[in-house]
Amino acid sequence: MLTLHAADEVRAAWDAEPLPDGAVAVEGGRIAAVGPLAEIEGRFPGARVRRWPGVLGPGRVHDGPLPDAPSPRERVHEVLKSGAVAVVERYVDEGLRFAAERNGLLVLPAPRPAVLAAGARADLAVLGADGACLATVCAGRLVHRRR
């Protein structure tokens, strides 16, 4: 299913210039396009549109000890709630690696810059005005939405 994630502002990278009223088209687990909402809607008529308040950008990489939680699955969920879609390998034990793989969370050998680009894995984070994560999309799946 093709989904357009639209936001008040889209950033291809967190340090990039903002694109007001932007959108990211996601097909399966990949980004199909990034651009102004009107242009993306024109390219993909009939696509489901999710509108988010705030800033939409690439999913983050969690580079530090993982949050405490009763189980590996809950630790992964805490990471996803922060807008992160990847963790750095040195902080991952075997139980957490299994939970990460089941939930689509990447385990990386080292941090890397994240960008939104056509053909890339559809990893997105939406941040509110207060900087809190409102939603996380991991490989095209909405895995966290703040109520």
User: Is 90 exceeded by the pLDDT of residue 13?
Assistant: yes
DSSP labels, the chain: -EEEEEEEEE-SSTTSPPEEEEEEEEETTEEEEEEEHHHHHHHSTT-EEEEEEEEEEEPEEE-SPPPP-SSHHHHHHHHHHTTEEEEEGGG--HHHHHHHHHHT-EEESS-------TTSB--EEEE-TTS-EEEEEETTEEEEE--
pLDDT in tens, 100-119: 988 899 999 999 999 999 99
The reported pTM is 0.93
103 and 128 housed in the same domain: no
43 and 27 housed in the same domain: yes
Number of domains in the chain: 2
122 and 104 housed in the same domain: no
Q: Which domain holds residue 72?
A: 61-108
32 and 8 housed in the same domain: yes
40 and 65 housed in the same domain: no
6 and 54 housed in the same domain: yes
97 and 137 housed in the same domain: no
